[in-house]
Amino acid sequence: MGGAPEHPDIWRAIDAQPTAAKLADTLELRGRTPAQVRLRQRFLRFVPIRGGQHVLEIGCGTGVVLRDLMARVGRRGEVTGLDSSRTMLTRARALARGVGGAPLRLRRGDGNKLPFAAARFDVALAITVILHVADPLRVVKELARVTRVGGRVGLQDQDFGLVGAAHPDRALTDRILDGVAARIYEEPYSGRRLPALLRDAGLEDVRVLADLYQDTALTDFSRAFLERRAENAVRFGIVDASTAARWLDGFNDYVARGAFVLTMNYFGAVGVKR
Ligand SMILES: C[S@@+](CC[C@H](N)C(=O)[O-])C[C@H]1O[C@@H](n2cnc3c(N)ncnc32)[C@H](O)[C@@H]1O
């Protein structure tokens, strides 16, 4: 036996999870949720992504962002996706088939040590990835290394200190949401730290775009998010199974009364390599 205990953040080692295929489904579910489409498009305009660029996205998952990038940079551009998970890359390859626009390259690799020459890309992106890595600065320095002078590094992450959920039991909601985030992530406030990370990695002219996921109807994506939080709260011993079930029922009651609200802050940050 032996070996390191498994890290509580399952996004770090997807291929080791029995639920890998389900995690891929979750990314696609998030990707097609209208409020998430708007968030993503707004961030890509903010970077900005332009026609003809060579763009890298690390931690590309199933390719939700890659497919948008292919359309944005067009035939004269080039899009490269890198991920540490074979499951994700297989899914990304299948889903990009037949999508028009830029040619797509996919590589398996680790954001800590990118398999690309220096100054290879116009833009390097990490979208909801920095939150999951053990050494964010190292990864951002790698993104900067593979970006050409004058090019941009763009990061976007949730900030789990800024989740707003309407629920009849506010104290229980805080205990579950804050407790789970503190146990899973090294830095649950990752979003608000992104500008400092870019500066620490030597990038300049850093700009920030704070944005919000807002749901008042309990979308499938929000439901999946809350169910995962409830499952983890039980797994980490924060609450017992019946309390977790009662907590989820509280959201259903609010939906029935037209009182459901869930918000999640996303921070985007972009820096220029000088
Ligand atoms: C939450 S998903 C984000 C996927 C995609 N960017 C999106 O927004 O739909 C995080 C992805 O990062 C990948 N990942 C995690 N750690 C990584 C690392 N050190 N190097 C490369 N990829 C990594 C995971 O395999 C997963 O596919």
pLDDT of 203 > 90? The answer is yes
pLDDT of 2 > 50? The answer is no
pLDDT tens column, 16-40? 999 999 999 999 999 999 999 999 9
CB 57 within 8 A of CB 89: no
Burial class of residue 46 in the structure, from the number of CB atoms within 10 Å of its CB (0-12 exposed, 13-18 middle, 19+ buried)? middle
Output the average pLDDT for the chain: 96
Provide the percentage of residues in the chain whose pLDDT is more than 70: 98
**Rounded distance from Cα 57 to ligand 1 centre (Å):** 9
pLDDT of residue 4: 59
**Rounded distance from Cα 128 to ligand 1 centre (Å):** 7
pLDDT of residue 1: 38
Please provide the distance, in angstroms rounded to a whole number, between the alpha carbons at the two ends of the chain.
Answer: 49
What is the residue whose two structure tokens read 């992504």? Answer: 49
pLDDT of residue 195: 98
What burial letters (b/e) apply to 121-132, b meaning 16+ CB within 10 Å? bbbbbbbbbbbb
Separation of alpha carbons 133 and 211, rounded Å: 22
Residue whose CA lies nearest to ligand 1 atom number 13 = 59
pLDDT of residue 177: 98
- For residue 224, give the DSSP letter: H
Mean pLDDT across 129-142: 97
* The pTM of the whole model exceeds 0.85: yes
pLDDT tens column, 115-124? 999 999 999 9
Mean pLDDT across 214-239: 97
Q: Which two tokens stand for residue 68?
A: 């948008």
pLDDT tens column, 50-64? 999 999 999 999 999
**Rounded distance from Cα 151 to ligand 1 centre (Å):** 22
Which ligand 1 atom is at minimum distance from the Cα of 134?
19
Q: Is the CB of 7 under 6 A from ligand 1?
A: no
pLDDT of residue 6: 82
Q: Report the SS3 class of residue 79.
A: strand
DSSP 80-126: EEEES-HHHHHHHHHHHTT--SS-EEEEE-BTTB-SS-TT-EEEEEE
